[in-house]
Structure formats: structure tokens, C-alpha cells
Amino acid sequence: MEGLGLSPATIAVGAGRPERIPGAPLNAPITLASALVPGAGSEYGRHGNPAWDAFETVLGELEGGDALAFSSGIAAATAVFDLVPSGAAVVAPRTAYSGTLAQLRERERRGLIELRLVDITDTEAVNRAAADAALVWLESPTNPTLEVADIEAIGRAAGQTGTAVAVDNTFATPLRQRPLQMGADFVVHSASKLLSGHSDVVLGAVVMNSERAHRAIAARRSTMGAIPGALECWLAARGIRTLHVRLDRAEANAAELHRRLSASPAVQYSRYPGFGTVVAFEVVGGADAAQKATEQSQVVVYATSLGGVETTWERRRRHAQEPTTVPEGLIRLSVGLEDVDDLWADIEQALLVSTGISGSRAWPRGR
């Protein structure tokens, strides 16, 4: 559908479909194949499988580049990190997805990279650290603290020093932010989250708009073998068909819950970057109250991960691997598609009970 000037909603629904010939299915089939007849690209299932194509095509068109699917978001990130020359510097957010930071720290310990952790909202600091680095890794908004980077300014500066820029676009999705159009060289996704959207897939992708980068990342995938499954790609492509509708609804719910949380006497502060489906907040009473609250809910699911149709929450620091730059009591709320009043009633009772603020004392608000 490329070159037709279509809007993202139309691309999400229509890109990556089989050719319209009589009798063809509207959706690409799930191809289970380790070996393929030679003569048309891949002849072995680790180097390529037609089952990956629909997902890669629709994601690539949405991001404005070419996508390569990986077995997980972390596998996708690994392929990008593997391109960093031995001993070179990598700039990364001091707060980011725990698995990404854990891997970067491990690479630093093994002497493979020099790791420079920065506040990604401080563009000057990022650009100073990036000037002689091989790679700037951005995650924007960050997980779970929701910091936002000025990708365009960082991309401009990096273009002058020859520093590569990669953006983990998991939270924004290509419907809210297209980093390749803002100066980034790589976009990385955990498709386990909003792209697939139903908490039933683990999958990742790298998207790029240079042929050289595409060849290099494809080679990493074949070499390390972190290839996607056929079923996972099929499910994620199906998820993307409704991404724009899910995102609009979840985003409206998230903005409203952020507004109500900000006004609640049980809440210290609530953070929401103005787009996306994740809200981060801290309650009165710290980590204990936060942990208790998240285990109290009946509509909101106490669970990790994010981006599903169902609303989930958890205290992130309950995971030992979570960076200590994340406050102990911070609750990450992944907002789904339920009725917002049902969600709020559930959240409010959980917060009031766990913080010891009774319903009657909470009204009227006297802060």
C-alpha cells in the first residue's frame, strides 16, 4: 500500500494482505516451514519464512521503513547492540525497561561497551555524552517513569557526529511517534505490548530505512537465530489491524484516570506524558501501601506487562531487576479498554483501603 499516501488507520487495516486474486484468503496464512523450495530468497526457516511477511510489512509501512521481526523485544534490541563496535560508548536512559538496562550493564561488565547513562529529558546532556559514542539508545516515553526525549534534536546532533540513534518505540507506537522520520536510524519494538495488544504474544521488531542497516540486522537475526514464530507474527499482524481503535480508546481512558488520580487524596502525584496508555503514580503511604493497593483490585488485573485490552497494574520495584532509579512505591498502570467509571471505582476503593484514607475522610478534598 506504500506510495498511496494513505493514513495510518488505513495502513494498519490493509497493509500486508495477500494479493487479491480469486480464491485467495484476505489474511496471510500461518506457514509452518523449516525448509522451502529453493529459488526465491530463503530456503531455510531460520533465514526467512513467509509467515513473517504480513507483520513486517504492516509495521514497516506504519513506521516508514523496513521491519524485521524477532523472537522478542529484547532479541530485537540485542541485534542493535551487537552492531556496536567493541569497546565503543553507548548512551542510554538511566531509567528504562529493566531488561534493556540489564543487558547493557552486562555488556559493560564484560568490557564490550562503555555505558553512559543519562537523563534523556536533558537534551544537552544526551548530546554531550553522544558526541563520541557509537550509539544513542532512547526509549521514549521511558518504561515506567514516562520521560520523553527530544528525538529530533538528538537525531540532528547525532547526524553531525556520525552517532547512530535507536529508539525503543514500544510505548508510543508508530501511530503517535515515527522516529525514523525524526532522525533515528533504528526503531525497536516489543510487539508483546500494544502492537499485538492482547497479552498473548512475545515478539519484537527492528525497523530501519537504510538498506545497509537492514542487511546488518537481518544478518544478526540469522546468525543468532532469535527468529520469530509463525503464530506470533500472525497474531501480532492481526493485533495491528485494530491498533488505532484500541489506542484511541485506551488513551482516552488513561488521560481520564490520570486526571482523577491527580485529584485523589490517596495519590502523591500522577504522571502521564499526554499520549500513550501508561500512567505512573505514587500513593500516600509509600511502597507498602502501593503493593497492598495493587493486590486489592478486582477489575484491574494485578500483573506485569502492558498494552493489552485489559487494564493491569503493578509496583515495578517488586521485581529485583528493576533499576533503583525507579521509586520503590511507583505503580505502573497499563490502561485498557474497559469502561472508565468501572476502572476508577475499582482503583479508588483499592487506593482508599490501602492508604487508610476512608471514603468519608476523602471528601471533600481539602488539599
* Interface residues toward ligand PLP, by CB under 6 A: 72-74, 97, 99-100, 139, 143, 168, 170-171, 190, 192-193, 202, 204
Shortest distance in whole angstroms from residue 87 CB to ligand PLP: 25
Shortest distance in whole angstroms from residue 172 CB to ligand PLP: 10
- Closer CB to ligand PLP, residue 100 or residue 354? 100
The label of the residue with cell 491527580 reads 262
Instruction: Please identify the residue of the shown chain whose CB is closest to the bound ligand PLP.
Output: 73
Shortest distance in whole angstroms from residue 55 CB to ligand PLP: 14
For residue 58, give the nearest of 243, 230, 193 by alpha carbon. Answer: 243
- Closer CB to ligand PLP, residue 134 or residue 138? 138
- Closer CB to ligand PLP, residue 187 or residue 202? 202
Helix axes 286-296, 340-355, angle to 10 degrees: 140
- Closer CB to ligand PLP, residue 61 or residue 232? 232
Which residues have a Cβ under 8 Å from the Cβ of 148 and sit 6 or more positions away?
120, 121, 140, 141, 273
Instruction: Evaluate whether 305 touches 194 at the Cβ level (below 8 Å).
Output: no
Single-letter code of the amino acid located at 271:
R
Shortest distance in whole angstroms from residue 97 CB to ligand PLP: 4
Distance CA 139, CA 149 (A): 8
Shortest distance in whole angstroms from residue 88 CB to ligand PLP: 22
Query: CA distances (Å), 206 to each of 24, 167, 173, 215, 221, in order?
Result: 29, 10, 13, 12, 10
Instruction: Evaluate whether 152 touches 34 at the Cβ level (below 8 Å).
Output: no
Helix axes 53-63, 230-240, angle to 10 degrees: 40
Q: Which run of H or E residues covers position 38?
A: none
Shortest distance in whole angstroms from residue 273 CB to ligand PLP: 13
Helix axes 243-262, 340-355, angle to 10 degrees: 40
Shortest distance in whole angstroms from residue 120 CB to ligand PLP: 13
- Closer CB to ligand PLP, residue 195 or residue 289? 195
Single-letter code of the amino acid located at 71:
S
Shortest distance in whole angstroms from residue 298 CB to ligand PLP: 25
Instruction: Evaluate whether 276 touches 141 at the Cβ level (below 8 Å).
Output: yes
For residue 168, give the nearest of 341, 156, 248, 148 by alpha carbon. Answer: 148
